[in-house]
Structure 1
Amino acid sequence: MLLRMLIACLLWWAIQAQAAAPAPEDADAHQLLVMLRLPAPHYRPDASYGGRYLDDAGRSARRNRAEALARQHGLTLVDDWAMPMLGVDCYVMRYPANDSAERLIALLESDPQVEWAQPVARFAGMQQADALYPVQPAARFWHVAELHRYTTGRDIKVAVIDSGIDTNHPDLQGQVALNQNFVDAGPTPPENHGTAVAGIIAARAGHGGIVGVAPQAKVMGLRACWQQPDANTRCNSFTLGKALNFAIQNGAQIINLSLSGPPDRLLDRLLDVALERSISIVGAIDAQASGPSFPANHRGVLAVATLTQINAPTRPQVSAATAPTAERTPGGAVQTDAPLLAPGSDVPTTAPGGRWSFVSGSSYAAAHVSGMLALLDQLQPGASPARLRSLLQSGAAPTTATIDACSAVARLVQQLSCPRALSQRGGAP
């Protein structure tokens, strides 16, 4: 029976990968992001402004200015997006394959109208390639059914910046407050990675599938990544920047970034703005990266790695090069820059087409933490990211960075009693 399940799952994933219509792998090759300074009167801080240009007289003038700059340096203007909170218009410009990005950036940044220029960086969803191997039952790591007696993340807005979410999935119907596409002009397609992350965070109970960590949270599905023919997930600076800009402008309380890539100046700036506005941000650590794991290593972002062993001394899938420094105070509390461990191996979750599958990777560990933040945010409305972080870290097992979900919630719910054995095992069943 188990073998039949495995074969069926593998066949289904193969069909989904072939049927997907992702953006081409080299669609963002030889491209730069050019930030042109935005006149101050263009900024409109009202909540109805989602980041796109309004039909004002200055729009054409600004675009003409960008086109002239592109022609001057032998570039082609590809796309644009207004980011008034940074005081810039962001333009995507393509350069010839025989030219140098470094040379062009130096020339562009010598122009007084250019705030800065940068390459379009690529990012990847943090999923393991063999997510269905081995197929085995996954434990209820955090006993969330018990925690839901006290908190469900009701109406907390969680922005899932990822690939497309299947909003018609039985476990996700009514859970996705909006489903915006920042990759192309088409409707948002159902894709594996985004659907899996959304299910872990907010799948609704009682519909024959799984129960999300925060089943009454409201997911903002922001498609900034796309699924490739090999079923891997890719994003870039421009699509991620647009989605972050939208999440900040539209009231996200938690932003889930289950992805990793190189340091990026545009995303750095937007993350800073989000944190200044008390938005909690969760990032997935890439255990295979040889350098800094961005955005998980950005100061203020809650970095999450995968809990790989239960009921044993736990080691995260983190290398010294990719993780923030983990330190403890003399009293044993985790410092604010310590990465946390959460379930990320053989996790059952939602898949496109009304199906379910098992997934593994720090992407899904990060999704667990975003759900936990929603539970805590409901119990303490308006809490700062630092306060929510401290609650999570106070519930970490004493000899590891493993989150003890029950202990974290119990700090806000006096009548909740956590079994001693549960706390000692970091929330594992």
Structure 2
Amino acid sequence: MRWLALLALCCVALAGCAAGAVRPAAPDTAQERARILVMLRAAPPHFLPLDSYAGQYQSSPDHEAHRRVAMQLARKHGLVLVTDWPMPALGLDCFVMQAPRQDAVMPTVLALTADKRVESAEPMQLFHVLGKGDPLYSLQPAARAWHLSELHAVSTGKGQVIAELDSGVELAHPDLARQATQARNFVDDGDYRAEAHGTEVAGILVAQADNGIGIAGIAPDARLLALRACWQERPEASAAVCSSFTLAKALQFALERRAQIINLSLAGPRDRLLERLLDVALAHRVTVVGALDETAADGGFPAAYPGVLAVAGEHAASPLKGLLRAPDEGIPTTVPGGGFGFVDGSSFAAAEVSGLVALLRQLSPAIRPEALLDALSAAPTPGLDPPRSAMIDACAAVARASGRCACDCRAASASMSVAR
């Protein structure tokens, strides 16, 4: 075990050296906090959300007309127009405007909202991923706790599309090669790049199984949309920041590509634009998985948003009802540079649950959201105040969702009896 830990450390160190190459600067956090999202009514309905939708619309007369309105609004309120993006899922076009300073944001939002040309306006929000770094604890893989090899005999997530909204994924990693069907950068105009947190989450989700390398993802045959909506502020740290605008663009893309599962291993303040996009996703029976933020009294957004599957580790304290628990310590996964390391935190527990959802949805494609939540839920642990849900029993979840036993059949049979 010590030898494996030392090997992982060496891999991480090599990844850090590779990250030392010159890259475009990360977005300025202070500048992001002084930005405003202004929504105008959308383009005519003949602009369809296809691969080239954004490009077609942004060169169209309608876009130019909207841009003129946006520029008028910016001049009137002392703002600078930065960029824009179509949000056809909401029938809106979103314009980003820069205020001169952060304390001018809220008064300007109120003034914009009163303008009849504006559908809505809101301050730019910032979010953060929820990993706790790469501490090397004793190995505690979900593969063992969830009987993963037995589950993979009946389901591997085939046919399921998981949208990972995170920092960049190392697409050429030996255990991730060809696992992503698409990779897009919603942070800036630079090239898509590999970053720590996104690569770590991707490995837990879809790392190749039975290839003689590293680990097996929870859903190795699921297809990954690697959507870079967050950025590392420092190359040597896995911590990453996202904005409500970058997340909204990525959510819109995930909806266009008909992702069945959206993994959000991040947290931040409630945001109206993101809530509206999540409502569209949930209305189309997309499973949205969010990581619990233990520092937030309500569990944080989006985990606490109705309809989102909120996930935490075994020992996390939270009053949030319906909380799902999965392993969150000492999880081996992929890291940039082609190596492997150990991670912990609710980010990675959420990724495990997203992978498990892919297995369940492959077995029961028509499963309703309430049935899916029931399959994943466990009875509260007795004697705790407040009561705390137990860890997910993956074997029982498969039995509840599909009516078949894949592993630990005695417990699964008891679970099916209780469900009936």
Tell me, yes or no, whether TM beats 0.5.
Answer: yes
Q: What does 1:2-401 correspond to in 2, within 5 Å?
A: 2=3, 4-5=6-7, 8=10, 11-12=13-14, 14-15=16-17, 18-19=20-21, 21=23, 23-26=26-29, 27-39=31-43, 41-42=44-45, 44-45=47-48, 47-48=50-51, 50-51=53-54, 53-54=56-57, 55-97=59-101, 100-129=104-133, 131-132=134-135, 134-139=136-141, 140-207=144-211, 208-229=213-234, 230-290=237-297, 292-307=299-314, 316-320=315-319, 324=320, 326=321, 338-393=322-377, 400-401=389-390
3-state SS of 1:345 partner: coil
Contact persistence 1:20–1:228 (CA under 8 A):
no
Structure-2 change in CA distance of 1:51 and 1:257 (3 Å):
farther
Q: Cα distance, 1:181 vs. partner?
A: 0.7
CA deviation digits over 1:188-210, x for unaligned, max 9? Answer: 11111111111101111123110
Structure-2 change in CA distance of 1:50 and 1:211 (3 Å):
farther
Q: Cα distance, 1:86 vs. partner?
A: 1.3
Structure-2 change in CA distance of 1:19 and 1:72 (3 Å):
same
3-state SS of 2:36 partner: strand
Contact persistence 2:137–2:342 (CA under 8 A):
yes
TM score, norm. by length of structure 1: 0.86
Query: Which structure 2 segments of 5+ residues have no match?
Result: 383-388, 415-420
Structure-2 change in CA distance of 1:213 and 1:34 (3 Å):
same
Contact persistence 1:50–1:249 (CA under 8 A):
no
Aligned length: 398
Higher helix share: 2
Contact persistence 2:15–2:339 (CA under 8 A):
no
CA deviation digits over 1:29-85, x for unaligned, max 9? Answer: 31111111225x246456556555523321111111111110111100001001122
Structure-2 change in CA distance of 1:57 and 1:366 (3 Å):
same
Distance 2:403 2:205 in 1: 21
Structure-2 change in CA distance of 1:180 and 1:220 (3 Å):
same
Matched AA of 2:66: R
Structure-2 change in CA distance of 1:50 and 1:351 (3 Å):
farther
Matched AA of 2:404: Q
Q: Cα distance, 1:288 vs. partner?
A: 1.8
The corresponding residue for 1:335 is: none
CA deviation digits over 1:94-126, x for unaligned, max 9? Answer: 011275211101111110011111111110000
Matched AA of 1:318: A
3-state SS of 1:187 partner: coil
CA deviation digits over 1:355-414, x for unaligned, max 9? Answer: 111000000000000001100110111323333222212x66765331100111123153
CA deviation digits over 1:217-254, x for unaligned, max 9? Answer: 00011110011214311100000000001101111000
Contact persistence 1:81–1:90 (CA under 8 A):
yes
Cα RMSD (Å) of the superposition? Answer: 2.4
3-state SS of 1:220 partner: strand
Structure-2 change in CA distance of 1:34 and 1:43 (3 Å):
farther
Distance 2:209 2:22 in 1: 28
The corresponding residue for 2:408 is: 418
